[in-house]
Every structure is written in C-alpha cells, then in structure tokens.
Amino acid sequence: MRPADAWIDPSRPKERAFVTHGHSDHARGGHGAVWATPETLAIMATRYGEQNGNPVAYGEGFRVGEVDVRFVPAGHVLGSAQVVLEHAGERIVVSGDYKRREDPTCAPFEPVPCDIFITEATFGLPVFRHPDTGSEIDRLLHRLHSDPSRSVLVGVYALGKAQRVITELRRRGHEQPIYYHGAVERLCRLYEELGVSLGEMRHCAGVPKQEMAGHIVIAPPSALNDRWSRRLPDPVTAMASGWMRIRQRARQSNIELPLVISDHADWDELTCTIRELQPREVWITHGREEALKHWCMLHQIKARELNLVGYEDEDD
C-alpha cells in the first residue's frame, strides 16, 4: 500500500507490516513493526517468539502515513481480519483469507461495502461448494460410534481447523475426551487462554493403545500416514479440508473418511460476498483467479488478477 508505506502479509521481512492472520503464508516473523489483532499477535508470538507488535482491536481506527486503517473480522480463524484502507475518498478492503459460515472459534466476517475489494480465491471454482459443517461432523461421529474398537484419526491444520473441529464436535454433544498429537498442543492451549473452550483434551504420548479405542484423535495432516499413527488402535484415517471435495485427492492420501470442512469461502460464498459488497473493482489473489474473474465480468464488475509470489496456503 504505497501511501501508507506498509505491506499487507508480506512474505519477507518489511519495515511496516499489517498481518491479517496467523497462518504461516500470511504471518512471518521479523518485521520492523507489525499491526495486527491481539489474537494474531499472540499466535505469532507462540509460533515465532515475541514480535514488535501494535495490537489493534476490531473496528479501532489508526492512521499510517496518509491512510486510515481498520481491521474488521474475516471469520477465517481466531483473530483473522480484513484490512480496510481509506485514502483520498476511496475505500479498499483486503479480505485476507475469509469464510462466511458460522465458526464457533472466531468472530463472523463483517461485510464492508467498498470501491475495491481484494479477495482470496482458494476455492474459486463452481465445483467447490462446501456442505453443511454439522452434517460432516455427524458423519465423523457416526463412523466413530459404528466401531468402538477403532479410533478415528482426523488430520487437521494446527491453527484454526483443529480447534474448530473440536468445538463443532462439542456442539454436537460429543463430550468424550479428545486425544491429540503434540503438534497441535500449543495452539489449542492458546485458544483456551483466549476464551475458546475445547473440553477435555488428552495428549497421546504414553497412552496405552487400547485406551484410545472408540475415541477421536486430532493430528496434523503429516502424521496421518506416518509411523506415529501406529500407536493408535486400527485408526480410521479422516481429514478435514476443503480439498476433500476432490475424491482423487482423498484417495491419493489414503483418506478413508474425507470431511469437507474448510476455513475458506467456497464458490457461493465468494460470489455472494462480491454481490453484497458491490465493489467497483475486484482484485483476485491467492488461488484460482480465472473463473471468478470471468464471473465478475459477466456481472459487469471490473476484475483483475493480482499474482502474488511466494504464497502457498498453509491451511485449507
């Protein structure tokens, strides 16, 4: 953002950075100064150590150079924000990663009408329509209850997806302890400290195999086909991701129970959001730009691709 001389989610260390949320493709350590929500700064401190941070609460305005800035909720993960920039009578909204569905672990996306909307497009194809989250969680519980001699191992990203799946399970009445791989421990703790309760959680380490039969085990995707999983009793391998919509992808990763649960907007959420915000122009980043660009053109909205180098989504 030139008039503010600041960068949004820069992939290299910069003098001034606005960081939308804690995923590693957006939040990097080592900037001169970081503006972000208190939750995002706490997540960054957990992952990279203490940063030179300026905490900004949702809705609180501040000025950098000639630009008025505020953060509003993006509904993606705890602390995630869209950046609203106002300069010379023009308003630009940078969505960061976002979704429109309810998520018990974070504040809901706040629509801000604008002149230019810079949107992500991770799932920017009409084939991506995420099913209802509750029904995916019910499939998981059904599988768990259908064979109490096995555990169900659910692959999830450590930041956001893990805590969302756990709270959705609690909402569906699952009160049993949930076991976890060490890699998700720190962020689960942090979520609890920041007010998201996860119920009874137990570390897998040192637990006898049979004790985990009939239970859910949460682990990062990398652990699913790893030696590590041999400590579990005949696990059913599940994975919670928007990519599970693609059957081939599930098959390639030996996923027995694909769960389509995403922290990104699906095609309908992307297009409904653009309709709602009525921007003059849409700039599309971070994913599959072509189809969404075409959709905008059909709806008389100017659109262009913004190719960002060095982005590889951590989460989906």
Of 150 and 286, CB closest to Zn ion: 286
**Choices 21-29, 101-109, 176-184, 245-253; region in contact with Zn ion by CB under 5 A:** 21-29
By CB under 5 A, is residue 103 in contact with Zn ion? no
**Choices 4-12, 46-54, 90-98, 225-233; region in contact with Zn ion by CB under 5 A:** 90-98
Of 44 and 236, CB closest to Zn ion: 44
8 Å CB contact between 79 and 26: no
Give me the residue label for tokens 């682990």. Answer: 219
**What order of strands is seen across the sheet that includes strand 178-180?**
201-203, 178-180, 216-219, 152-155, 236-240, 257-259
Q: Crossing angle of helices 267-277/289-298, nearest 10°?
A: 40
By CB under 5 A, is residue 181 in contact with Zn ion? no
Of 262 and 271, CB closest to Zn ion: 262
Got the DSSP string for 174-227?
A: --S-EEE-GGGHHHHHHHHHTT----SEEE-TT--GGGGTT-EEEE-GGGTTSG
Of 123 and 267, CB closest to Zn ion: 123
Of 53 and 287, CB closest to Zn ion: 287
Q: Which residue in 97, 103, 168, 316 binds Zn ion (CB under 5 A)? A: 97
**Choices 3-11, 91-99, 102-110, 186-194; region in contact with Zn ion by CB under 5 A:** 91-99
What is the DSSP-derived secondary structure letter of residue 162? H
**Choices 56-64, 170-178, 182-190, 306-314; region in contact with Zn ion by CB under 5 A:** 306-314
Least spacing, CB of residue 262 vs Zn ion, in Å: 11
Q: Which residue in 14, 23, 28, 99 binds Zn ion (CB under 5 A)? A: 23
**CA 32 – CA 177 distance, rounded (Å):** 42
**What order of strands is seen across the sheet that includes strand 116-121?**
62-64, 67-73, 81-87, 90-94, 116-121, 281-287, 302-305
Residue ranges binding Zn ion (CB under 5 A): 23, 25, 97, 313, 315
